[in-house]
Amino acid sequence: MSHRVLQPSIPPEASRDHPSRQCERSAHKSELATPVGSEDFESGNAETHFPVPFRMRGLSKDDESALKARAVGGQMHPSSLPFKILAVDDSAVCRKLVEQALSGERYTVLFAKNGREALALFAEHQPAVVIADWNMPDMEGLELCRHIRRDSPDLHSHLILLSGNADKEQVVEGLTAGADDYVTKPFHPSELVARVEVGRRIAELHRQIQGQNRLLEEMALTDALTGLPNRRAVEVWASRQLSAAVRYHFPLWVVMADLDFFKKVNDTYGHDAGDTVLKGFAEILKANTRQSNICARSGGEEFLLVITHSDKAGAKSAVERIREQFESRNFSFGNGTVTVTASFGIAGFHEAKPLDWNALLSCADTALYAAKHKGRNRIEFELESGI
């Protein structure tokens, strides 16, 4: 990655003048004096529902894709992640000096002229390193650090404060405010690059750990065989939907599905054949689940589907479609072709006293038992639920 400046807001006249004449003259008149250095998802055409999509907290889409690619065996090295630096300084000359110090390095540098611009660029780009001037008219670097730490608790960015004041008490105040490093002006370009590199290493490590933790979280909520959300995931989702259904008075139905005589498939054709049947049912379930609903494999040959915003007839129609599609699907194993069926138990409420999740599951289970008892490959509603 080559050095790229996204927003070098340096006025022409500033770049023509010598640093010592352009640097802010208020608090740190001598900060640029020496070396070169001083100074950002029910219908037949329903969309396929996939496990609860995650947005990795604190990661941009580019970072997330890169981390996922790496986690599944991709070749992307962490150092190839987009690495951005945000430099904020009210002095055009100081911004220019930071730009010069970082030129030749593989960074994308964003520049802000004040704290407000810096916060906007930070929210948009989530830079790995922020180099912030202490003294700025609208917002001190100290306050900027506090804002970033408070507003982005899940995102680690390495914050470097720049100040002409080398007083230890101010250094402590800066670090206490959330800064990771403190560099005094005038700075040596190589020292700034070295400190930015330290920040890059720490920020990359943080982002790798965050990405891996998110992937682990996603894996913990996904059924590995079918790719459907698992029971835990549907419980998390359902608890929120139940609260909303109660508050906004919309219907909610819990469908418990169980493949009929599944053990025979495993015993006759083997477990690989059984897995194929489970995946086949999952595909039909997904293809018939609206983006606003959720389906899951809750264990073994048992699946769950939660349907919201649909009356009893609508819910039954949606489940009947799944039952019919699965019944008509042929599975070929060796020389034989097999068809498998499923039974469904539905419980829910619509303009009636709402039930909690466990009560709904219990009612759906009772209805499923009834469907099995009445001959399988059928749908039953739990009469005790509020319909």
Q: Return residues touching Mg ion (CB under 5 A).
A: 24, 90, 133, 135
- Nearer of residues 42 and 133 to Mg ion, judged by Cβ: 133
Element (H, E) at 205: helix 189-220
- Cα gap 14→289, rounded to integer Å: 61
Q: Which is nearer to Mg ion, 40 or 63 (CB)?
A: 40
| Least distance to Mg ion, CB of residue 136, Å | 5
Shortest reach from residue 20's CB to Mg ion, in Å = 15
CA–CA dist 371, 61 (Å, integer):
45
Three-state DSSP state, 230 = coil
Name the β-bridge partners of 132: 88, 161
Q: How far is the CB of 84 from Mg ion (least distance, A)?
A: 22
* Strand partners for 182: 161
| Comparison of 133 and 301: residue with beta carbon closer to Mg ion | 133
Q: How many CB atoms lie within 10 A of CB 152?
A: 15
Comparing CB distances to Mg ion, the nearer of 135 and 210 is 135
For Mg ion, the closer of residues 133 and 260 by Cβ is 133
The residue among 133 and 380 lying less far from Mg ion, judged by its C-beta, is 133
Residue nearest Mg ion, Cβ-based: 135
Nearest to 163 by CA among 173, 151, 153, 155: 173
Provide the minimum distance between the beta carbon of 32 and Mg ion in the complex, in angstroms, as a whole number: 11
Provide, rounded to whole angstroms, the least separation between the CB of residue 89 and Mg ion.
6
Of 90 and 223, which CB lies nearer to Mg ion in the complex structure? 90
Tell me the closest approach of the beta carbon of residue 130 to Mg ion, in angstroms.
15
Q: Residue 90 pairs with which residues in a beta bridge?
A: none
CB of 304 to Mg ion, least distance (A): 59
Number of CB atoms found within 10 A of residue 379's CB: 21
Phi, psi values for residue 186, rounded to 5°: -75, 145
Cα separations in angstroms, 256 against 80, 221, 295, 363: 46, 18, 10, 10
- Return the structure tokens found at 135: 């003294």
